[in-house]
């Protein structure tokens, strides 16, 4: 459908879907930074020789971080050079006239080559002494001794870091605008002062949703260049020009993912000490008709207590609630900020009320009751129990239960003259275990109910007319919410969302069940064997981990446990031998049975050992240590 130009220039305000990977994103700067790091590590072997300065001996101390060593210190024997050779680290050498470091001694008493540094007018940086050692000048009197092994590790780490940055940037869902603040809702923007409107987009942006904040940190300190620094949003945006009863209006859906406590499905759960919830997403639905604008905002986020659910090769790892953490402190911090930003909170908890999810539901309900805030309402709805056997019509039970609360919360509405007619007094905060599949279904139903009230008030729908009866718009609406579900799921879980057949068609289908099974298998593989890399990529991109130029070995170079290779090989060999024994029968059936039983028991036993030590075989994050819940 052809897009209809809006009076507030929405076409320039919100980027189209194909522009979601930000064209203005400073990717070149990232490549240049990585290239610069690589140059510091390796590009100092073919530099011009200039005037020779006086020589002095310096003792090298190999320990991270390397302490300064003054010129003229006595040369140590054995320990320094040998440890450097084994660990691949580097030493810091200082002195106003350092020209030579004599590496003498060693475990076997051998003498190594001298390192000659020639100083010039700032042009000379380092001279190669041998294949095993380099000397890099940091300043007039500071040098770093590099071992070739250290440089090789740094080059490998640089390649990995660059791959991580590209991995994040290749995920769909990055948006920016040069004219409109995408990080704020319509209501927040309408309740601001004129001074706020005059601020640059970077200054006034909601920092929860600025995903390139770490990359813009240097520009943030320079107000004169703020107009060139655009905040980037991560999530989902779609916009459509629609017609009902011959009346045209623009319908927009925006989901904003928080960069606080960002991460992947199983490695980032619950809240942190500041009250930031994992997978927190603010979703805003906007309608623009004849100069009037209306919006309805909902939020989702992980259950706001300290809990974890680490992958361990099992299909569904058991969630673990911390016994030592102060849950009330983090819980109160979370909802204090939510009440300040959004107002009243209607909490819809969709997790199972039995099995492994039951303790989380009980803890959540207890925390709400203990807080005793009049700004919070708690509703527990066992989604899977109520909708089992494909009885998805029973979702109307929940909608009827919250209908009065939704009318009380209302929605935001401003008329064509710019006067605020209605304010949204609070939000629905929905959650399931992942805050993806079940959550998206409920949010789409609540948003449809609000949209119907808005369109009736604006005069687009007639009194008594239902939105579900508008076939053309219903198709647009359902597909947009299904696309929103897929975007949020890919960014958090690595695959498209489950249950999107209901969102798209309004009913559960057998094909949808098959697709859910396929996506579940892909999720299992990614959550166990690739999410560590994904989590490290996000931490590096957001600045949760900073590359230290003085660190020869990053956490990436930590070797895996021996069980990681040995046990799978043993299991494969044992299983293969079991099959061979079945195909190549022995002289007697008892002999064949004995061989089959031996190798079969060996393969099964090894399998259970691997399963028991599952956490050693999954791809875990390495850059930032995640909380461990006992």
Q: What is the pLDDT of residues 26-46, one digit of tens each?
A: 333 333 333 333 333 333 333
Question: Cβ contacts of residue 132 below 8 Å, gap of 6+?
Answer: 85, 112, 147, 148, 149
Residue-wise pLDDT tens digits, 246-279: 999 999 999 999 999 999 999 999 999 999 999 9
Q: In terms of C-beta density within 10 A (0-12 exposed, 13-18 middle, 19 or more buried), how is residue 183 classed?
A: buried
Q: Are 573 and 587 in contact (CB under 8 A)?
A: no
Torsion sign, CA atoms 467, 470, 473, 474: positive
Per mean pLDDT, which range of 72-86, 289-303, 447-461 is the poorest? 72-86
pLDDT value for 512: 84
| Residue 60 pLDDT grade (very low, low, confident, very high; cuts 50, 70, 90) | very low
Query: What separation in angstroms does the CA of 442 have from each of 71, 90, 235, 303?
Result: 70, 57, 18, 16
The answer on pLDDT for 141 being more than 80 is no
What ranges in 178-256 are assigned the alpha helix state H? 186-190, 194-198, 201-204, 217-220
Query: What separation in angstroms does the CA of 598 have from each of 603, 605, 612?
Result: 9, 10, 21
Q: In terms of C-beta density within 10 A (0-12 exposed, 13-18 middle, 19 or more buried), how is residue 123 classed?
A: exposed
What's the rounded mean pLDDT across residues 407-433?
Answer: 97
What's the rounded mean pLDDT across residues 127-146?
Answer: 51
What's the rounded mean pLDDT across residues 3-27?
Answer: 36
| Residue 332 pLDDT grade (very low, low, confident, very high; cuts 50, 70, 90) | very high
The answer on pLDDT for 6 being more than 70 is no
| Residue 478 pLDDT grade (very low, low, confident, very high; cuts 50, 70, 90) | very high
The answer on pLDDT for 200 being more than 50 is yes
Q: In terms of C-beta density within 10 A (0-12 exposed, 13-18 middle, 19 or more buried), how is residue 288 classed?
A: buried
Q: List phi, psi (to 5°) of 243.
A: -140, 130
Residues 47-52: contacts with CB under 8 Å, at least 24 apart: 47/123, 47/124, 47/125, 47/126, 47/127, 48/120, 48/123, 48/124, 49/118, 49/124, 49/127, 50/118, 50/119, 50/120, 50/121, 50/123, 50/124, 51/118, 51/119, 51/120, 52/99, 52/118
Q: Give me 129's structure tokens.
A: 């002494």
* Helix, strand, coil abundance in the chain, percent, nearest 5: 45, 15, 40
Residue with the bigger pLDDT between 137 and 47: it is 137
pLDDT value for 419: 94
């Amino acid at each position: 459908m052809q897009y209809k130009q809006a009076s507030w220039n929405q076409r320039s305000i919100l980027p189209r879907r194909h522009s979601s990977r930000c064209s203005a994103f400073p990717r070149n700067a990232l490549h240049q930074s990585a290239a610069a790091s690589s140059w510091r590590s390796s590009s100092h072997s073919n530099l011009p020789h200039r005037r020779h300065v006086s020589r002095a001996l310096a003792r090298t101390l190999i320990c991270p971080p390397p302490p300064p060593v003054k010129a003229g210190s006595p040369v140590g024997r054995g320990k320094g050079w040998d440890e450097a050779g084994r660990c691949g680290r580097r030493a810091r050498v200082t002195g106003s006239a350092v020209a030579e470091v004599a590496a003498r001694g060693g475990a076997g008493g051998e003498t190594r080559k001298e390192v000659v540094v020639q100083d010039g007018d700032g042009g000379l940086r380092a001279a190669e002494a041998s294949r095993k050692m380099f000397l890099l000048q940091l300043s007039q009197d500071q040098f770093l001794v590099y071992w070739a092994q250290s440089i090789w590790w740094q080059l490998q780490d640089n390649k990995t870091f660059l791959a991580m940055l590209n991995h994040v940037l290749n995920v769909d869902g990055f948006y920016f605008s040069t004219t409109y603040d995408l990080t704020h809702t319509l209501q927040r923007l309408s309740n601001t002062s004129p001074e706020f409107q005059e601020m640059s987009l970077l200054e006034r942006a909601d920092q929860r949703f600025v995903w390139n904040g770490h990359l813009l940190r240097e520009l943030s300190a320079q107000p004169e260049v703020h107009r060139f620094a655009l905040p980037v949003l991560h999530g989902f945006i779609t916009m459509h020009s629609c017609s009902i009863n011959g009346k045209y209006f623009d319908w927009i859906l925006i989901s904003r993912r928080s960069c606080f406590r960002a991460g992947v499905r199983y490695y980032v759960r619950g809240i942190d000490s500041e009250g930031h919830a994992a997978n927190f997403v603010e979703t805003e639905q906007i309608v623009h008709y004849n100069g009037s604008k209306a919006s309805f905002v909902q939020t989702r986020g992980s259950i706001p207590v300290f809990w974890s659910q680490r992958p361990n090769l099992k299909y569904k790892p058991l969630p673990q609630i911390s016994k030592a953490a102060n849950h009330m402190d983090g819980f109160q911090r979370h909802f204090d900020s939510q009440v300040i930003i959004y107002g009243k909170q209607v909490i819809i908890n969709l997790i199972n009320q039995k099995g492994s999810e039951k303790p989380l539901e009980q803890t959540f309900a207890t925390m709400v009751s203990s807080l005793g805030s009049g700004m919070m309402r708690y509703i527990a709805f066992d989604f899977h129990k109520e909708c089992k056997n494909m009885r998805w019509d029973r979702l109307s039970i929940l909608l009827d239960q919250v209908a009065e609360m939704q009318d009380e919360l209302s929605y935001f509405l401003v008329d064509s003259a710019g006067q605020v007619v209605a304010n949204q007094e609070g939000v629905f905060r929905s959650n399931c275990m992942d805050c993806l599949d079940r959550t998206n279904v409920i949010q789409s139903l609540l948003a449809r109910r609000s949209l119907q009230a808005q369109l009736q008030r604006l005069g687009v729908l007639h009194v008594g007319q239902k939105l579900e009866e508008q076939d053309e718009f219903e198709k647009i609406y359902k597909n947009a919410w299904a696309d929103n579900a897929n975007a949020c799921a890919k960014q958090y879980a690595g695959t498209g969302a489950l249950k999107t057949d209901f969102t798209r068609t309004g009913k559960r289908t057998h094909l949808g069940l098959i697709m859910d099974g396929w996506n579940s298998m892909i999720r299992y593989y990614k959550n166990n064997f690739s999410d560590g890399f994904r989590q490290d990529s996000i931490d590096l991109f957001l600045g949760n981990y900073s590359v230290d130029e003085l660190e020869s070995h990053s956490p990436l170079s930590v070797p895996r446990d021996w069980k990681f290779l040995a046990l799978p090989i043993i299991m494969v060999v044992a299983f293969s031998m079991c099959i061979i024994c079945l195909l190549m029968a022995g002289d007697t059936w008892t002999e064949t049975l004995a061989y089959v039983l031996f190798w079969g028991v060996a393969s099964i036993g090894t399998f259970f050992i691997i399963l028991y030590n599952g956490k050693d075989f999954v791809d875990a994050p390495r850059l930032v240590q995640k909380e461990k819940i006992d």
